[in-house]
Amino acid sequence: MSKPIVATTSLAGCFGCHMSFLDIDERILDLIELVEFNKSPIDDIKTFTKKCDIGIIEGGCCNSENVHVLQEFRKNCKTLVVIGECAIMGGLPALRNNVAPISECLEEAYLNCVSVQANDEKIIPNDDELPMILDKVYPCHEVVKIDYFIPGCAPRADLIWNALVALVTGNEMELPYEVIKYD
């Protein structure tokens, strides 16, 4: 039987969840035996080269590119797993959701903030190549259907490992009290 294929990505996140993923330490050797990686920063494959079984997503959606990538994942992966607070509820990037309208955020960041220098033309970045900023940071499940949620900031390596093993083997996931944390 061929190995399940896994893809991962980080949207509006800090890559902390990927770091935590790598914290499974020597079990990474078991992981290589267990699955094959496709699009992922772990192996630096930039685009999907085949359909995947499991997509692992870190981070929420703060711009149009995040949305695009997330939608690509939904198309190419049978099962989507979001990991970390950012993917689940927006996380720290979503601190802006309740603060002010996005116009005010942009003006503060690029025009009014005391640390703004040398922006005499008063430009808010507007190059067409740049992703467009969303009005708020969206949790992934508000944009596409998500199958599983792994909370934490970052989720404990054990939790990610347990989840992945459960998904790959089809066994029920172990959830000891200590591994579910939101911080």
Which residues contribute to the site for other proteins (CB under 8 A)?
64, 67-68, 71-72, 75, 85, 88-92, 94-95, 97-99, 101-103, 106-107, 124-128, 132-136, 138-139, 141-145, 148-151, 153, 175, 177-178, 180-183
CB of 12 to other proteins, least distance (A): 13
Nearer to other proteins, 42 or 133 (CB): 133
Q: What does the alpha-carbon distance between residue 136 and residue 62 come to, in Å, rounded to a whole number?
A: 7
> What tokens were used for 182?
């939101």
CB of 33 to other proteins, least distance (A): 27
Place of tokens 């997330």: 70
CA 34 to chain centre: 22
Q: What does the alpha-carbon distance between residue 122 and residue 111 come to, in Å, rounded to a whole number?
A: 6
Nearer to other proteins, 30 or 71 (CB): 71
Coil vs helix vs strand at 104: helix
Residue 125 burial class via C-beta count within 10 angstroms: exposed 0-12, middle 13-18, buried 19 and up: exposed
Residue 161 burial class via C-beta count within 10 angstroms: exposed 0-12, middle 13-18, buried 19 and up: buried
Nearer to other proteins, 32 or 123 (CB): 123
Nearer to other proteins, 33 or 127 (CB): 127
CB of 182 to other proteins, least distance (A): 4
CB of 183 to other proteins, least distance (A): 4
Nearer to other proteins, 3 or 50 (CB): 50
Residue 17 burial class via C-beta count within 10 angstroms: exposed 0-12, middle 13-18, buried 19 and up: buried
CB of 34 to other proteins, least distance (A): 23
**DSSP conformation class of 126:** -
